[in-house]
Structure 1
């Protein structure tokens, strides 16, 4: 059922035999989309020219250059300075200035992506649901959304946002309740000041360092000490996969190629899931997803996903913090730009620059 969607995804790239040279991949001059790659400079930049033979119509742009800039603030700055026409995924802290201009604006869209605090559910005392619920109740999600993200996002109600068809109905973000959090820790046998956790935050996502500091301060209010480790994601992931961590911040998309979150729920939350960083295992949860995989009726599958999301929220398997929005900065000279919700396409045939 899902194979046609996967095959239609740009992530399922089919290389021309001409792109395979001496055992290496070299796509220069071999692409069949609206643009042809003319030059690749390592991880610095990519140059393209219009493909006049493109089956989908001639692109308005004659050529383009893509620069790979890992720092989101730099991407925003380059649009403001005129060095770039488009800056993808700019930080929330830059939005107000970009919207005021002059000569710049912001294109925004809801995305299937949530920032969450992963919890290693196999590591004591985090294997106790009351301890996890205490961490959840100690965080001021609304305050985080309005301050750190300057009101550009909504506090999370779980892995899925309210507008999505598979989100549970009537669910609200976890409420800040310090008294309840302290009581839950006491019920779990955790004495005040006895719990110290290490929090991972990866440097590629610029907001996470500040978010980690906020979480550190808010958990201090319930007697939990947090030590922060900031590093590149590839330096943190091995420990997360191996279960050698306490809590970690992660920006996670639940849709990739198909408008159905089954693959996400399976990989992230089933006992044998390939990306189950929470190390969560619940046989009945797995069984419900197995049945959903063979269900042809989308509405019935969505019911299963909603129940799964509600369970993850209620058991505080992770603390879901905010539902992200895609924010791209563009120059006023850019016309015909549309932000793809899965970030599949940026350079389209309709895009032009005055």
Structure 2
């Protein structure tokens, strides 16, 4: 069935989807003893950018560097905070201090043994505005970082910051680097993870090799080579021919075919990420809530999901992680209503043909291009002229993310299970990911209030209120959660360990190749 036929068909519309984030292979491997050795070649669906883990804001880069770096603490499959580089951690009774006892003998890839000085250096580096760290605001309330001995770190807070521990459980803010290594991290990242960085050829490949002194035991693989292949068909061909051992993001229209192939393995999970249409609030028409609301009514979210993603996901009006207590299940996507959209545009002073928009979409996500192409006709029905400008990933990041030079765009976000990371970063007026010029005092007040609200239930209610505000004001148009997929050769073992609980990062520590 081609896409046009698919979109005409109502029979294919997806029913309710179950939430899960676990390994679901098409064919279960028998229990085998993992083999040591070999180089796994991974067809990575995206291109890596800045290799400095403190500075990078892209999931594509984090997915690789997850294997190079570690944080003090991390999360288990249920998002409980657990030690990683720390041996233990505790919060002071007043919520104004955190004490970490470090694991002794942890080695960095440069041979240095980790001490409290490295933790202090790393956190102060993120906090320092000169670093350009994406997650700088995580440390806004930190007043002091003390190191009473080599294995103890005490963080003092100027005020209560309820999500602080959760925020440093993500590598972006919590990664620990060797003291003084900041200047080289962008080109030769040095961490304490299971794999050492070897080489990077921009747009082509990243090479990692096993770090035998990894504190949690050496990996099985000798090397991992991430080949950057954004074209889905090329990626799939490489898997079929054996040129690649595994790929992520199986082409949406080929997943059932690959699942039915006894010569290949598949891993699927939900969700991988969530997608939304971005409206630049600095662009005159989008300063008007009626215009933003009209855009929302133009889009048929369910049909777009079928047309661009072949139904491999689930529509949502909330970006909160679907199993999170903060997920506002009372919200529902607005239905497509072209006549209502036209009326709203008319009220805002835009008659048929008056509003001309440029949709900047990145080829890094082919389904974003397809989604934009589908939307062109709907916008035309509403009297809006929509043209598409296709950008490489680097150009999209430069124009849309950094320079905020766009009118309408589309993006997906990963690893935002922690609601402060999600709502403060994306919708607070000073948030690191607020590239849409959103400046809503009500949102600022809500997410700031959540930071000082210790009771989890009360905090979740605040985030639900923030979601309602985002929905009512149409700060963005939230579309769907997307499924994650991996295809692999039969020789690849340990696939049940590869997907990080956040649904985005891939861990190769326990992955292996049959001899």
Structure 1 distance, partners of 2:339, 2:426, is 31
Structure 1 distance, partners of 2:208, 2:301, is 43
Aligned pairs for 1:13-52 (under 5 A) are 13-16=175-178, 26=188, 32-37=192-197, 39-43=198-202, 44-52=204-212
Is the CA contact (8 Å cut-off) linking 2:275 and 2:410 kept in structure 1?
yes
User: In structure 2, what is the equivalent of residue 148 of structure 1?
Assistant: 308
User: In the TM superposition, what is the alpha-carbon distance from 1:22 to its structure 2 partner?
Assistant: 9.0
In structure 2, the residue corresponding to 1:343 is in which secondary structure? Answer: coil
User: In the TM superposition, what is the alpha-carbon distance from 1:213 to its structure 2 partner?
Assistant: 0.6
Structure 2: gaps of 5 or more residues: 1-161
Is the CA contact (8 Å cut-off) linking 2:484 and 2:503 kept in structure 1?
no
Matched positions, count:
348
1:321 is the counterpart of 2:468: no
Structure 1 distance, partners of 2:358, 2:186, is 41
User: In structure 1, what is the equivalent of residue 459 of structure 2?
Assistant: 301
Judged with a 3 Å threshold, the aligned counterparts in structure 2 of structure 1 residues 26 and 19 are, in CA distance, closer, same or farther, namely: farther
Structure 2 distance, partners of 1:20, 1:301, is 35
Q: Which of 313, 324, 347 pairs up with 1:187?
A: 347
Over the residues paired in the alignment, what is the CA RMSD in angstroms?
2.9
Judged with a 3 Å threshold, the aligned counterparts in structure 2 of structure 1 residues 18 and 195 are, in CA distance, closer, same or farther, namely: closer
User: In structure 2, what is the equivalent of residue 228 of structure 1?
Assistant: 388
Structure 2 distance, partners of 1:172, 1:122, is 27
Is the CA contact (8 Å cut-off) linking 1:19 and 1:25 kept in structure 2?
no
In structure 1, the residue corresponding to 2:409 is in which secondary structure? Answer: strand
1:277 is the counterpart of 2:435: yes
Is the CA contact (8 Å cut-off) linking 1:157 and 1:172 kept in structure 2?
yes
User: In the TM superposition, what is the alpha-carbon distance from 1:146 to its structure 2 partner?
Assistant: 1.8
**CA deviation digits over 1:283-313, x for unaligned, max 9?**
1221111111111122222111111112212
Structure 1: gaps of 5 or more residues: none
Moved more, 118-127 or 281-290: 118-127
Judged with a 3 Å threshold, the aligned counterparts in structure 2 of structure 1 residues 36 and 232 are, in CA distance, closer, same or farther, namely: closer
Structure 1 distance, partners of 2:287, 2:168, is 39
User: In structure 1, what is the equivalent of residue 508 of structure 2?
Assistant: 347
Aligned pairs for 1:332-343 (under 5 A) are 332-337=490-495, 338-340=498-500, 341-343=502-504
1:157 is the counterpart of 2:317: yes
Is the CA contact (8 Å cut-off) linking 2:415 and 2:503 kept in structure 1?
no
Aligned pairs for 1:66-105 (under 5 A) are 66-105=226-265
User: In the TM superposition, what is the alpha-carbon distance from 1:231 to its structure 2 partner?
Assistant: 0.9
User: In structure 2, what is the equivalent of residue 287 of structure 1?
Assistant: 445
Is the CA contact (8 Å cut-off) linking 2:273 and 2:504 kept in structure 1?
no
User: In the TM superposition, what is the alpha-carbon distance from 1:31 to its structure 2 partner?
Assistant: 5.9
Q: Which has the higher contact order (CA 8 A, sep 6+)?
A: 1
User: In the TM superposition, what is the alpha-carbon distance from 1:333 to its structure 2 partner?
Assistant: 2.5
User: In structure 1, what is the equivalent of residue 377 of structure 2?
Assistant: 217
Judged with a 3 Å threshold, the aligned counterparts in structure 2 of structure 1 residues 41 and 319 are, in CA distance, closer, same or farther, namely: closer
User: In the TM superposition, what is the alpha-carbon distance from 1:219 to its structure 2 partner?
Assistant: 0.9
Judged with a 3 Å threshold, the aligned counterparts in structure 2 of structure 1 residues 288 and 107 are, in CA distance, closer, same or farther, namely: same
User: In the TM superposition, what is the alpha-carbon distance from 1:162 to its structure 2 partner?
Assistant: 4.3
TM-score of the aligned structures, taking structure 1 as reference length: 0.86
Structure 2 distance, partners of 1:71, 1:198, is 24
Is the CA contact (8 Å cut-off) linking 2:272 and 2:484 kept in structure 1?
no
In structure 2, the residue corresponding to 1:74 is in which secondary structure? Answer: helix
**CA deviation digits over 1:109-146, x for unaligned, max 9?**
22363211111123222211111111111111111112
